[in-house]
Structure 1
Amino acid sequence: MPCGNGQTLSKREHGVCVPRLSFFPGLLVALCCLEVWGSGPHGGGGCSPCPVNCSCAPAGPQRLCVVNCSSLGLERAPAAAEFPPTVNTLDLSKNHISSLDTSLLDRLTGLRELDLSNNQITTIDGRICDNLCNLTQIDLSNNPFECDCELFRLVKCLKEKRVQVRRLHAMLCKDPPALHRQPLLNISLQTCGLSYAACLEDSSSRGGGRSELVIFTYSKPGNYTREQCNSVCFGLSHLYGGLGERHECLCSTNNEPNFISGSHCSAACTNRHVMTECRWTLARDVFAVEFSVSLGALPLQSVHDLVVFSAASSVTPVTLSWDFGDLSPRLSPTEKGVTTAAHKFAIPGHYKVSLKAWAGHKEVSAQTDVTVALPPKLELHCPSFVVANKSVDVTLVSWGGVGLNVNWTISQNDVQVAKAFPDCPPREGVLHSKSSSCFQIFPAELSWKDARQQCLSRNGDLAVVRSDELRNLLARKVTQ
């Protein structure tokens, strides 16, 4: 209350205002009061320090410190060190804050009123309740809440501590769709489901075979597979996932690892009685949430044909970008969820195809090899007319074909009338009718290279004889 008017007695913790005796003594008393309780918009006396652009001032009969950071366009709350430790009322309303760091309130033990209304908060860590020792009032209205069990348990904790939750009618769920626009307090423990926990074995060399007790704080009803639940938990930035008794998807951050060796419920994974005492239900499955992508191997491909690549991702939806390794531009589909790509290679060769995948703010990659060859192409050259009872010269040209076996037949109206054989001089060659091949033997001492050149000059190739039948047939032509 004003001091120095000569009519009011006002007792304070650090001084007393007395009736005015004269102008000069009254002025001294007034200055004394200003020295003890004076403050400005940035916090004099006990209201300092003050966060940038916020206002800090004492208010009320007890001159308690009030910090106003409303309507500043903040995307996060100021750090704890920026607030006066004696803050009693904190207004962070009408900003763009999406999450609240629980460590912010560790230092503000005297906080009694907190306004977080009209922000972008989707959930609040339930551990914040442990730090609100003296809180009497909180406003969480007009935020796009993800109405999960952790958020419900926070509200339940606030009610148990008799904290007044303002504007309950404006605390509405945005997600999941089944609860859209429903009041947060309409969620019940039955809606949240059971409290699940499970043990995750750490088989890595760094883990040393330890087991971590994972306590699930999020449950999404539905008939989920492990792969589907992995995507759900990844989208929520949770570290662990699991499946419940009704195949609901369970997620956990486990921000404070609870290793079995030091857990209060150390036998929870093996002893269902301990699980009951801890009010947990054992999850059907537990896994570390991962984001990975892979490419399957492909068989030999042909030039000019579309080669179809398929990617497998542990998270959906996912955005992909393809590099086919042939200096062509990267292929980046604009539509999420497309996991296949088709590409045509113009030149035969070996290519390394690489893939980048994005989901959220994370990126992973994968590679695979593909071999592209010329497709086999055959050309059959026949004479325009033939003479009866005379030999017919027929030529087969192969483009890109390797190791071809040819079976020659002559048909008329789809009926075989003759079987054709390669031109095989009876004195120089040996005809093998089973393979329709003609073998010629040249008695000379030649190197492998020269011998093959001799065969190529006669429109053939150097032969390798592997069967006993053919070896016995050719042995008749071999002389010492």
Structure 2
Amino acid sequence: MPCGNGQTLSKRKHGVCLPRFSFFSSLLVALCCLEVWGSAAQADGGKSCSPCPVNCSCPLGPQQSCVVNCSNIGLERAPAAEEIPLATNVFDLSNNQITTIEERICDDLCNLTQIDLSSNPFECDCKLFRFVSCLQQKGVQVRRSNELRCSHPLDLQDQPLLNVRLPTCDMKTNTGLYAACLEDSNSGGLGRSELVIFSYSTFRNLTREQCHSVCFNESHRYGGLGEKHECLCSKNSDPNYISTSQCSAACTNPDVMKKCGWALAREVFVVEFSVSLTPLQPQSVHNHVTFTANSSVTPVTLSWDFGDLSPRANTTGTVSTTSAHKYGLPGSYTVSLTALAGHKKVSARGEVTIMLPPKLELHCPPLVVANRSLELTLVSWGSVGLNVDWKITKDDVQIAKASPFCPVDAMHDHESSSCFQIFPGELSWTDARKQCLNRGGDLAIVRSDKLRNLLATKVTQ
């Protein structure tokens, strides 16, 4: 990785940028070759073919060549550089489940002449492109190259690695690789930062939300935006926490980033999959209820449980996805949502209250006689504290404003909206009711102490 002025950057556990001048690089290569041939002599006069990676075989081939055979043993990770014999001439990693390989293997194996990487689900990122390019520059024969194919990213899937080119590996910036610093939320308030080095990019002009989905679908851990709004992604499989070093100030000082061979990425974020439900106000039982789900990635498949024992509903959509449902009864319901994207699943829950709204019915007589009182009936369903403003209009023009009729010598009770009139005399219950009916009312039965005390003032002996 370039570190400026002919230097290289050695990535270590704590993210230290160590300058190694080209003179020392040449010296190290020379020492490497001397070590292979000088210290490798064995009692049988052959070369050393050790240490041998675990589960691999390391026989001596023709002309004492060192063959490291790790083919078809189910490896998910390629052996590290320090696990491979320095005298290796032939390295076979075919037919495994390897997705990436260390770049420095190309530099450390001075005598490598042949390598077989075929039939592995490689992540074709810049690191792998640089590794293969290094092999070609050193004249190493890449065996069965037509079977060396990309598994990811999706737009390069199943394409021969040696026949494709990833434009972003040129990293068209004034410095070099994109990188950034991300605060570690799990550091317990210690303020620790992780150095994120981006290895995948698309030059499409994307928003942060769109880039988040791209990085998620490519199984990356981090995302960010480049100088031209290109989408950057990084796996950073091993957290690289920054300690005191030449590149420690990279988070805030672009000049330091440049010295370390990095361009500063913007809007760096952790790639996460989450879904949420938009809260709702109380809804009417007479209407369809529209629920809105917000997902951090797209495309996403949603499975809805509306909490009323109805069948689940499935929808597929973008960041904001809706689903409508009609409830049969009023009440409070718990809505459960399951979101699926790739091989991951997340869920969310929400509450909705379904209400029976107030309803009014106005009953009018079919026929009205002139100069007679007009009797109207108002039926209220579910409403409380109801105030009624009675108006009579003709052709949208008010011609009368009605109010409950109450004679002048009677008493109107606002609480019960009733009119009471007292007539002196001794009458039977039947005759008393008949007299009230003739006056457009009915015989009253007073059960409220408050109303009884109010009417008592009108009773005379």
Measured against the shorter chain, the TM-score band is: 0.5 to 0.7
What is the CA distance between 1:160 and its match in structure 2?
4.7
What is the CA distance between 1:115 and its match in structure 2?
4.3
- Misfit runs of 4+, over 6 Å: 13-16, 48-51, 118-121, 439-442
Equivalent position of 1:184 in the other structure: 162
Is the 1:356–1:365 Cα contact (8 Å) retained in structure 2? yes
Instruction: Give the letter for the 1:129 counterpart.
Output: I
Instruction: Give the letter for the 1:102 counterpart.
Output: A
What is the CA distance between 1:421 and its match in structure 2?
1.6
Q: Verify: 1:157 aligned to 2:134, yes or no.
A: yes
- Structure 1 pair 179–321 and aligned structure 2 pair: CA distance change class (3 A): closer
RMSD: 4.3
Q: Give the Cα separation in 2 of the matches to 1:187 and 1:457.
A: 96
Q: Verify: 1:278 aligned to 2:260, yes or no.
A: yes
Question: What TM-score do the two structures reach when normalised by structure 1?
Answer: 0.65
Equivalent position of 2:309 in the other structure: 327
Is the 1:410–1:420 Cα contact (8 Å) retained in structure 2? yes
Is the 2:103–2:127 Cα contact (8 Å) retained in structure 1? no
What is the CA distance between 1:163 and its match in structure 2?
2.6
What is the CA distance between 1:361 and its match in structure 2?
2.7
Q: Secondary structure at 1:237's aligned position in 2?
A: coil
Is the 2:115–2:143 Cα contact (8 Å) retained in structure 1? yes
- Structure 1 pair 217–303 and aligned structure 2 pair: CA distance change class (3 A): same
- Is 185-194 or 259-268 further displaced after alignment? 185-194
Equivalent position of 1:317 in the other structure: 299
Q: Verify: 1:199 aligned to 2:185, yes or no.
A: no
Q: Which of residues 288, 302, 307 in structure 1 aligns to 2:284? A: 302
Q: Secondary structure at 2:353's aligned position in 1?
A: strand
Q: Verify: 1:359 aligned to 2:335, yes or no.
A: no
- Is 153-162 or 389-398 further displaced after alignment? 153-162
- Structure 1 pair 405–140 and aligned structure 2 pair: CA distance change class (3 A): farther
- Structure 1 pair 439–395 and aligned structure 2 pair: CA distance change class (3 A): closer
Q: Secondary structure at 1:332's aligned position in 2?
A: strand
Question: What TM-score do the two structures reach when normalised by structure 2?
Answer: 0.68
Instruction: Give the letter for the 1:155 counterpart.
Output: V
Q: Give the Cα separation in 1 of the matches to 2:239 and 2:418.
A: 78
The alignment-based identity, stated in percent, is 54
Equivalent position of 2:411 in the other structure: 428
Q: Give the Cα separation in 1 of the matches to 2:445 and 2:63.
A: 113
Is the 1:239–1:251 Cα contact (8 Å) retained in structure 2? yes
Instruction: Give the letter for the 2:301 counterpart.
Output: T
Q: Which of residues 238, 241, 248 in structure 2 aligns to 1:266? A: 248
- Structure 1 pair 58–279 and aligned structure 2 pair: CA distance change class (3 A): closer
Equivalent position of 1:249 in the other structure: 231
Q: Give the Cα separation in 2 of the matches to 1:181 and 1:130.
A: 23
Q: Secondary structure at 2:371's aligned position in 1?
A: coil
Equivalent position of 1:213 in the other structure: 195
For residues 21-420 of structure 1, the aligned pairs below 5 Å read 60-61=61-62, 88-92=68-72, 100-103=76-79, 107-109=83-85, 111-116=88-93, 123-127=99-103, 129=105, 133=109, 135-141=112-118, 147-168=124-145, 171=148, 177=155, 181=159, 184=162, 186-187=164-165, 192-193=170-171, 194-203=176-185, 206-333=188-315, 335=316, 337=318, 339-420=321-402
- Structure 1 pair 421–225 and aligned structure 2 pair: CA distance change class (3 A): same
What is the CA distance between 1:390 and its match in structure 2?
1.9
* 1:383-427 superposed Cα distances (whole Å, 9 cap, x missing partner): 222222222111111223344443222222333221222344542
Structure 2 residue runs of 5 or longer lacking an equivalent are: 1-41, 422-443
Instruction: Give the letter for the 1:198 counterpart.
Output: A
* 1:156-207 superposed Cα distances (whole Å, 9 cap, x missing partner): 2323554322355665667564898576355266654241111112355625
Is the 2:225–2:267 Cα contact (8 Å) retained in structure 1? yes
Instruction: Give the letter for the 1:214 counterpart.
Output: V
Is the 2:53–2:79 Cα contact (8 Å) retained in structure 1? no
Instruction: Give the letter for the 1:166 counterpart.
Output: R
Q: Secondary structure at 1:267's aligned position in 2?
A: helix
Q: Give the Cα separation in 2 of the matches to 1:233 and 1:402.
A: 56
Is the 2:150–2:156 Cα contact (8 Å) retained in structure 1? no
By relative contact order (CA 8 Å, sep 6+), the higher-ranking structure is 2
- Structure 1 pair 144–210 and aligned structure 2 pair: CA distance change class (3 A): closer
Q: Give the Cα separation in 1 of the matches to 2:187 and 2:92.
A: 47
- Structure 1 pair 351–403 and aligned structure 2 pair: CA distance change class (3 A): farther
Is the 1:424–1:430 Cα contact (8 Å) retained in structure 2? no
Is the 2:77–2:97 Cα contact (8 Å) retained in structure 1? no
* 1:135-154 superposed Cα distances (whole Å, 9 cap, x missing partner): 43123457676543222122
Q: Secondary structure at 1:261's aligned position in 2?
A: coil
Q: Secondary structure at 1:390's aligned position in 2?
A: coil
What is the CA distance between 1:341 and its match in structure 2?
1.5
Is the 1:215–1:254 Cα contact (8 Å) retained in structure 2? yes
Instruction: Give the letter for the 2:345 counterpart.
Output: E
- Structure 1 pair 213–424 and aligned structure 2 pair: CA distance change class (3 A): farther
Q: Give the Cα separation in 2 of the matches to 1:457 and 1:257.
A: 85
What is the CA distance between 1:246 and its match in structure 2?
0.8
What is the CA distance between 1:100 and its match in structure 2?
3.9
Q: Give the Cα separation in 2 of the matches to 1:49 and 1:183.
A: 26
Is the 2:194–2:242 Cα contact (8 Å) retained in structure 1? yes
Aligned length: 377
Structure 1 residue runs of 5 or longer lacking an equivalent are: 1-12, 17-45, 66-86, 443-455, 464-473
